[in-house]
């Protein structure tokens, strides 16, 4: 496993949340909070990444993660370059490693990578030079660490007593890097109860999500939940869709509606990492309703990514 911290304790890479301890995780969340000023602003621009270059390498589509990393890096005064996988020389046969080496030759300091292939962020982190950093911006079905951070930050803001919370993740958990990173972060924070709710073909293997309770029916899975995290069905990650319900059939059985929300606690918060498929995993009435904190998750995404970049800035080599 790639060492994510430098010898002096500064953050070098962020590939996974799995080996962070509670102190390290809370420190990142506390740092992110410093960038949130009221409801309408982020904190003023900081010079922490002045003279540094952050490269956003996205080999899968993204709206929230890519834009929020761009904003975060810009607010820390970095120069930002974005490479879209489909529009890069990758389509002419260049390897990913050669792509990274090319950007490294242009003195890129931080690589932010989204990929459909498992293992790529750690592989690239093992090849980039000393004093350079890599952040995983979403890796296949495996990891999405900054999403996990923004999710637990959002939960902590609304319900700080995480050890006494019941969190229900609902939907396509099998193919979800969001669910895996959220579960890692919630585990580190010692969540009271974690439920995995969805039709059997969309639930993960039983040897995953240590300690979580599985529900193949929605209503018992939502009963008395404090937090509900709805997930999109990720058909793009499925080799075959045998046994996977159609969108209509899924909504009838597992769609999060205002009526079904009544099974949860009265002050339940409803989360969704986005993008949302309305009237498939969640009704518009719930997505836009009083329990929804989906917009807050997006706002928190910039602050969390600023915190991660700021921590990484402390360990970059040389003067910019």
Using CB under 6 A as the criterion, which residues of the chain lie in contact with ligand CP when the complex forms? 62-66, 138, 147, 273-275
Residue 154: CB partners within 8 Å, gap ≥ 6?
269, 271, 293, 296, 297, 300
Q: How many helices (H) and strands (E) does the chain have?
A: 11, 11
**Terminal CA-to-CA distance of the chain, rounded, Å?**
29
- Minimum distance from CB of 259 to ligand CP (Å)? 27
Minimal CB distance residue for ligand CP: 65
**Shorter beta-carbon distance to ligand CP: residue 57 or 316:** 57
Q: Which is nearer to ligand CP, 138 or 171 (CB)?
A: 138
| Least distance between ligand CP and beta carbon 294 (Å) | 10
Please report how close the Cβ of residue 140 comes to ligand CP at its closest, in angstroms.
13
- The DSSP call for residue 91 is G
Report the residue number, 171 or 315, with the smaller CB distance to ligand CP.
171
Structure tokens at 77: 């005064």
Nearest to 15 by CA among 96, 101, 117, 124: 124
Are the beta carbons of 268 and 226 closer than 8 angstroms? yes
Closest C-alpha to 118, from 145, 141, 144:
141
Shortest distance, CB of residue 308 to ligand CP, whole angstroms?
Answer: 14
Residue nearer to ligand CP on the CB measure, 198 or 273: 273
| CA-wise closest residue to 283 among 320, 316, 247 | 247
Q: How far is the CB of 63 from ligand CP (least distance, A)?
A: 4
The whole-angstrom separation of Cα 149 and Cα 312 is: 15
Q: Which is nearer to ligand CP, 306 or 316 (by Cβ)?
A: 306
Which residue, 83 or 316, is less far from ligand CP as judged by CB? 83
Gap between the Cα atoms of 175 and 319, Å rounded: 41
- Shortest spacing between CB 258 and ligand CP, in angstroms: 24
């Amino acid at each position: 496993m790639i060492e994510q911290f430098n010898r002096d304790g500064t953050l070098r890479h962020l590939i996974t949340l799995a080996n962070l301890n509670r102190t390290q995780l809370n420190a990142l969340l506390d740092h992110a909070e410093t960038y949130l000023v009221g409801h309408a602003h982020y904190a003023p621009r900081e010079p922490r990444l002045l003279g540094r270059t952050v490269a956003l390498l996205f080999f899968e589509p993204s709206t929230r993660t890519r834009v929020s990393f761009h904003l975060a890096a810009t607010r820390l005064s970095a120069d930002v370059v974005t490479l879209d996988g489909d529009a890069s020389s990758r389509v002419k046969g260049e390897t990913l490693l050669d792509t990274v080496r090319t950007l490294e030759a242009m003195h890129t300091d931080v690589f932010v990578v989204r990929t459909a292939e498992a293992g790529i962020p750690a592989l690239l982190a093992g090849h980039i030079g000393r004093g350079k950093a890599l952040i995983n911006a979403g890796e296949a079905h495996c990891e999405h660490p900054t999403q996990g951070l923004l999710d637990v930050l959002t939960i902590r803001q609304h319900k700080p007593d995480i050890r006494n919370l019941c969190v229900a993740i609902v939907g396509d958990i099998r193919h979800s890097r969001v669910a895996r990173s959220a579960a890692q972060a919630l585990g580190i924070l010692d969540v009271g109860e974690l439920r995995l709710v969805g039709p059997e073909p969309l639930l993960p293997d039983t040897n995953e999500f240590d300690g979580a309770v599985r529900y193949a029916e929605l209503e018992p899975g939502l009963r008395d939940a404090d937090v509900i995290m709805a997930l999109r069905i990720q058909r793009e990650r499925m080799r075959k869709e045998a046994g996977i319900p159609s969108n209509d059939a899924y909504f009838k059985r597992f769609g999060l509606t205002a009526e079904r929300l009544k099974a949860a606690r009265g002050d339940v918060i409803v989360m969704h990492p986005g993008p949302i498929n309305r009237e498939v995993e969640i009704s518009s009435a719930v997505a836009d309703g009083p329990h929804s904190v989906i917009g807050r998750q997006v706002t928190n995404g910039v602050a969390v990514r600023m915190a991660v970049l700021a921590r990484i800035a402390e360990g970059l080599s040389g003067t910019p």
